[in-house]
Structure 1
């Protein structure tokens, strides 16, 4: 029996080690991309950062393009973990919508120093068709759809006005995030995050179904 099970155990250990190595490479690539962009990623650069050989990195990511797409997916997974999943534990309506925005702002406050791959990637690939752009656009759209659904649910619960346009609401909120990154990260203007919170509170206030509805996120 030992002769038949030993190869399986070895195979399982090898698979686990391979997964750990891939995770290590992805973590390093994610950190590098946050500072130099997706275009700054290469098999050679990751090999240097991780202390691995180029062939070792290549064995996990067969091309630079595959590496870039994997980093986009990893970034999205972390974004969901920090922003989306904690918020959906809140009741449907304004509580969930407020939580989504507040968790998003917490992440933005960290990315003032590290950078946002959604935003930097959009600048790099906005006019460059291909799999990397498609992967990035898909991730951004999936997040926007989740936020738009939260807005629709707040309308369905009666907390936001029935004539609220979820797409317009989403557009204005997303604009706050882009402006916050620009002012806080590029211009280094203090108070950008507080201004974004006040802006969000104003958007919510403009769409409240009645004055008695729960107050939005703190200004």
Structure 2
């Protein structure tokens, strides 16, 4: 009878959700350091202190765990990088905030191994299947969001670019960040982030941005 009590069922659900979140947070950290391909139920059981059976009950199999980890990494990225930028006006102000948040997200090691999606993209960019599709969808949405802010800045008269220029700037800004993330991890230095910020600032000024709008990217 107690097993059918709604309060008992809700309590179990809350505990199950909390356990799932904790396991996935450990999984995202692990993947950022070691890559997604090596993530398994057994490996995560050792790292998280949970039993293999409990993790298998949450995710069913390795692919289910990998897909859930990608979704968790995406959610954290949105919370840290995208949502705070939405407090700023669409276009140039939001674009600058996105770039600054992006730099801070990697430099502050929100994930132990730097950028989560840099790690998973390297693992799965050439491996067809549901996991690659999930990674590609996340990256497609991110790059598309950056491009939308560049376009909005042009439409508002804050940047002076033709269609090719919009595409090039939307490609170049995240590329600078990705290179800074990789070099910082390799060399254990903050210097690549400072160089990326300067390069982003120069690109935006070259595209017609007012210097006063770029203060968040000052070194």
RMSD (Å), alpha carbons? 2.1
Residue in structure 2 matching 1:19, options 17, 20, 35? 17
Deviations 1:130-150 (A, max 9, x none): 111110111011111111111
Aligned runs of 1:85-124 on 2, under 5 Å?
A: 85-111=83-109, 114-124=113-123
Change (3 A) 1:55 1:129: same
Which residue in 2 is equivalent to 1:172?
172
Q: Is the 8 A contact 2:39 2:62 kept in 1?
A: yes
Partner Cα distance (2:185, 2:53) in 1: 36
Choose 69-78 or 87-96, whichever is displaced more: 87-96
SS class of match (2:37)? helix
Which residue in 2 is equivalent to 1:42?
40
Partner Cα distance (1:205, 1:83) in 2: 22
Q: After TM superposition, give the deviation of residue 177 of structure 1 in Å.
A: 1.2
Which residue in 1 is equivalent to 2:181?
181
Q: Give me the TM-score of the superposition, normalised by structure 2.
A: 0.90
**Runs in 1 of length 4+ with deviation above 6 angstroms?**
3-6
Q: After TM superposition, give the deviation of residue 190 of structure 1 in Å.
A: 5.0
Q: After TM superposition, give the deviation of residue 5 of structure 1 in Å.
A: 10
- Flag structure 2 segments of 5+ consecutive residues without an equivalent: none
Q: Is the 8 A contact 1:72 1:135 kept in 2?
A: yes
Change (3 A) 1:190 1:17: closer
Q: Is the 8 A contact 2:93 2:213 kept in 1?
A: no
- Flag structure 1 segments of 5+ consecutive residues without an equivalent: none
Q: Is the 8 A contact 2:3 2:9 kept in 1?
A: no
Partner Cα distance (2:4, 2:61) in 1: 33
Which residue in 1 is equivalent to 2:194?
194
SS class of match (2:108)? helix
Q: After TM superposition, give the deviation of residue 158 of structure 1 in Å.
A: 0.5
Q: Is the 8 A contact 1:94 1:214 kept in 2?
A: no
